[in-house]
Structures are given as structure tokens and as C-alpha cells.
Amino acid sequence: MLAAVPIGRADDASPRLAAELASATLIAAEDTRRVRWLAASLHVELRARLVSYYDAVETRRTAGLLGELRAGQDILLVTDAGTPGISDPGYRLTAAAAAAGIRVTALPGPSAVTTALAVSGLPTDRFCFEGFPPRRRGERARRFADLAADARTQVFFESGRRLARTLAELAASHGAGRAAVVCRELTKPHEQIVRGALAELASWAAPAQSPDAQDSSVLSGARASGEPPCGRSVPAGARTSGSGAVRGEITLVVAGAGRRRRVSGPAPPAR
């Protein structure tokens, strides 16, 4: 069973998730410490055997877990946050189990992708998920160039330390005036949603980036027509968080091809 877990707040967990955690006998977890924290937060006593199943070991541990499934063992697969397989471990075990004729089911729940889309104010009738952009500059440039004229809303994930660079590169490929929204720490008490143009957000993120910032989500939209997302543009109070570092999970929403941000009020405050 692929079990989606909260993306920020433990109290967003469903009663069914709590019941599955309590009854599971084998849990494959992206981070065993994280699943222990979640269980404790839900007042669930874990009796399951925990197996680490993260990116670096996913390939080599899939065969062992498949063997457990073939022997009749049920496995509950969870990631740190969100839905397994969506830019997180899960694809390989799911594919192997399906190929072996083993039933795969899901416990539905949160996803940073759909949560960000919902609050973005951009069209959601058509979208694509691009995951993390390529690390190599040439590959990144080609990927962004290919997507610049795409009419679909585009979803990217990115780390906090690379957020400003990604915003700047998207501004170069998609257009500096393309409307965008950054969502930080979705569903958490300090959730922050910042709206502006790509170039504005790139300037906002530059002084706020931090090498110890957590992984970030970047949501980039492309649409040929329609209104850009509404809201204030890069408010002064949103320029930095805490010590000035961009922390937590961040989501960037960028409007589509041919769409620029319509400024109805004063220009964003200068840095």
C-alpha cells in the first residue's frame, strides 16, 4: 500500500492513515525517524518492522522488498511528506510489484503538487509535473527552453539553495514579466504565499537563499491566455524568513506564455 502522509502538519493525517500505521507489520519509509515522529504525533504505537527506503538505496532494496511481497508480506510504503512515487521513492517497487502480478493499492492523501496548484490561482485543467530541474546548466537551459511556450501549467521541485538561480533562469526562458507565485511551507503555521513576476521573485529570493534550506517545490505555469494570479506583489514583509534564509518547502507558480503580471497598484518595493 502506498500511503500519502501530511506535507506539513501531522493533524492533517486521516484516521485511515493512523489505523494503517498501527496495524502495519512492515513499513518501508523514506526516513524511519520521520515515520516514528508521525506515529507519535498521532498517538499511534508502531509495531511494524521499519526498513529505510530512500533514493540512495531504493534500487538495491527493491528486490528484497519484492521478495517479501511474494512471500505474502504486506508492506506499507511512506515518504517524508506527500504521496510515494511523486518525486519520492515508490516508483520502482510499484512497477516491480505490478509486473509480478502483486496487487498495489493506495491510501490517498496530500501532495505538494496538487496543493500548490490549488492555491496558485493559475489554470489547473492542464498541467505537467517536471520534478527537479537537471543539475547541469546546459540540460537545464534546454529543458526550460522546451517548456517556455508550453500552454500547460508546469510544476517543478527545487532545493532552497538553488531557488534564486532557478527563478532567474525561468525569467530568462519564460519571460521576466511572467506572473508567478511562491508558496513557502504549505499547510504549516508559517505558510507564506508571495506573488509577483518571475524577475521580481528572483530578486526576492537572492538575498534569502541559504545552503541549509530544506528542499523546495517550484511550480511554473504556462498558459496562452487568461488572468494572472491575483494578490500582492512581493510584499516587503515576505522578503525574508527568520534569519533571512528561505526555509521550508517553497512552491513557485509562474503564469503561461503570453501572460504578464497586471499591476493594478504601486510597483513592488525596491530592494
Ordered domains of the chain (ranges, CATH): 2-107 (3.40.1010.10), 112-254 (3.30.950.10)
160: its cell numbers: 532552497
- What's the pLDDT at 216? 65
- What's the pLDDT at 56? 96
- What's the pLDDT at 161? 84
Taking only the tens of pLDDT, the chain with its 271 residues reads: 999 999 999 999 999 999 999 999 999 999 999 999 999 999 999 999 999 999 999 999 999 999 999 999 999 999 999 999 998 999 999 999 999 999 999 999 999 888 888 888 888 888 989 888 999 999 999 999 999 998 888 888 888 888 899 999 999 999 998 877 777 888 999 888 878 788 998 998 887 665 555 556 666 665 444 444 444 456 554 443 433 445 445 666 676 665 555 433 333 443 3
By residue count, the chain amounts to 271
Query: Looking at this protein, which amino acid is placed at residue 227?
Result: E
- What's the pLDDT at 196? 79
Q: Provide the Cα torsion 230, 235, 237, 241; round to 10°.
A: 70
- What's the pLDDT at 259? 52
Task: Tell me how far apart the alpha carbons of residues 156 and 87 are, in angstroms, rounded to a whole number.
Answer: 10
- What's the pLDDT at 248? 46
Chain centre to alpha carbon of residue 46: 27
Q: Write the secondary structure of 144-209 as one string of H (helix), E (strand) and C (coil).
A: HHHHCCCCCEEEEEEEHHHHHHHHHHHHHHHCCCEEEEEEECCCCCCCEEEEEEHHHHHHHHHHHC
- What's the pLDDT at 260? 54
Helices (H) and strands (E) in the chain, counts: 8, 11
Nearest to 213 by CA among 244, 238, 245: 245
Task: Tell me how far apart the alpha carbons of residues 77 and 61 are, in angstroms, rounded to a whole number.
Answer: 13
Bridge partners of 129, per DSSP, are: 155
Q: Write the secondary structure of 5-26 as one string of H (helix), E (strand) and C (coil).
A: ECCCCHHHCCHHHHHHHHHCCE
